[in-house]
Structure 1
């Protein structure tokens, strides 16, 4: 008998313990709990309910069908993980694709790793395990991080320790949730990458973000081209630099201004341009004042 067959037989033997209502295992301290909790056991598929904490929301039907075909031929190679809720009732912690594919394959039982966990522990286990997977899209990962913050009150530093990711990496994922929902959907559907999203997030306002997103998709722009597009957009919003004041050919000194003012008995306005041309404006306040200035000019 091979090791795999022995293991499967053992799992089926242990499953009998879970079907004994007089010895129902509800905690790790119950009789025979050590034989069940932490072991792989063949469970009835119908006794397993879907995990409400599952971060994955997209399941590719073609991929599920391929996995179902593989399970028909080879069986479930990697057990799912469940937590025991009640007598003959279990809740999935991780492995929903395997569970769905097993149902498609017509299996009645599935190998499962048994845990006893409360809601918070179940949520943390489900989210952390799924974050580690390579087939989650960036938005699903970001939503998982956000749930750990909102529902378990984990800090980014604590999440960094739990999932083995740098704090800066976690922060970059979380920033994606500030994008317009249309753009988040574009990332999930593969129209743009996380790199595109990180460039767009630097633009304030969902309308402006959506406009840039349309240009990226229609132009099939690379991440680098997107970064340049965003920079050009931001530069266009900056106020135009003030034009430098035009210089003058020479400076009229204060003593010269005073001499003119003293001569005419009025403060004159003197302007000189860059070519040395200019004008002197002498104000008057009445016809009598005007005639006075004329006499001064005639000498």
Structure 2
């Protein structure tokens, strides 16, 4: 193996694995030319060549979609160059391992026809496995926003983390974490569009600020039908919110004068029910005396000497 390949081993994993995996241990690894197995039963933290057939898929893997063409391309690369970055596993027993991270590399290695694969072996409990698998996937550039959001939520729910702790784990500030988590409150049709790449994170952030799900879905449909830009959607959301504010302002009742309020209170006390006076600018108006039942109406009519 070339010096460049040795340096590349484990790149990106050092931030995730806090054990004895180091540059020195990486240099000790040499891939067998014949594809034989180089088990190191005491090699926790070092790179070992283990049988692919002995590796179980990580049950905590949050990633469910793997690009078929990308797997084919990676498999072809592995046939020519070998696997540069080892996978990470935990030992179940002497001849059984469970994958912690690197499922895409494992799948491509199987396609490439490999019988063995280089792997870091480490000790991890179920929660650590889940956390490492989630963090590895979150740090992938091609992970869609919904996968990130769901991974964040799983880390909060299943790893018992707070948002601040989650942000530290994934090197993101709390506002970014919050924005992703808010995606999970959007209607399912919008979440599906984010997942499929039909709308961007920018579109989603604008839609989140609308509180009415029906209006969210309506604007979402307009985005899809007319290919609206993020800026255009933001403008439409602002107009919608301003329109709602104006409607609320228009619905505000006219302030009641002290004199009218005094009459209302006196009548309410007399009839033992809420009384409302409506008086126009010209002095005309009406008196509303609500009743709760037929008996209540009879009581009020008797008081009016009806």
> Do these two structures clear the TM 0.5 threshold for a shared fold by scoring above it?
yes
**Deviations for 1:127-163, whole angstroms, at most 9, x for unmatched residues?**
1122122111111111111011000110011112212
Question: What is aligned with 2:71?
Answer: 64
User: What is the DSSP-based 3-state SS (H/G/I as helix, E as strand, rest coil) of the residue aligned with 2:98?
Assistant: strand
The TM-score normalised by the length of structure 2 is 0.69
Q: CA deviation at 1:167?
A: 1.1
Q: Relative to 1, partners in 2 of residues 1:2 and 1:95: Cα closer, same or farther, differing over 3 Å? A: closer
1:16 to 9, 21, 39: 39
Distance 1:150 1:199 in 2: 26
Structure 1: which 5+ runs fail to align? 19-31, 244-270, 274-278, 280-299
Aligned residues: 234
Question: What is aligned with 2:151?
Answer: 144
Q: CA deviation at 1:17?
A: 3.8
Distance 1:187 1:109 in 2: 37
User: What is the DSSP-based 3-state SS (H/G/I as helix, E as strand, rest coil) of the residue aligned with 2:73?
Assistant: helix
Question: What is aligned with 1:76?
Answer: 83
Distance 1:105 1:150 in 2: 37
**Deviations for 1:76-133, whole angstroms, at most 9, x for unmatched residues?**
1111111112231111111111111111111111111111110011111111122122
Distance 2:114 2:32 in 1: 18
User: What is the DSSP-based 3-state SS (H/G/I as helix, E as strand, rest coil) of the residue aligned with 2:99?
Assistant: strand
User: What is the DSSP-based 3-state SS (H/G/I as helix, E as strand, rest coil) of the residue aligned with 2:62?
Assistant: coil
**Deviations for 1:35-86, whole angstroms, at most 9, x for unmatched residues?**
x110111111111111121121211111111111111111111111111122
Q: Which structure: larger Rg?
A: 1
Distance 2:29 2:281 in 1: 100
User: What is the DSSP-based 3-state SS (H/G/I as helix, E as strand, rest coil) of the residue aligned with 2:150?
Assistant: helix
User: What is the DSSP-based 3-state SS (H/G/I as helix, E as strand, rest coil) of the residue aligned with 1:122?
Assistant: helix
Q: CA deviation at 1:272?
A: 9.3
Q: Which moved more, 1:157-166 or 1:110-119?
A: 157-166
Q: How well do the aligned residues superpose, as a CA RMSD in angstroms?
A: 2.9
Check if 1:92 corresponds to 2:99.
yes
2:210 to 178, 203, 206: 203
User: What is the DSSP-based 3-state SS (H/G/I as helix, E as strand, rest coil) of the residue aligned with 1:8?
Assistant: coil
The TM-score normalised by the length of structure 1 is 0.71
Check if 1:230 corresponds to 2:237.
yes
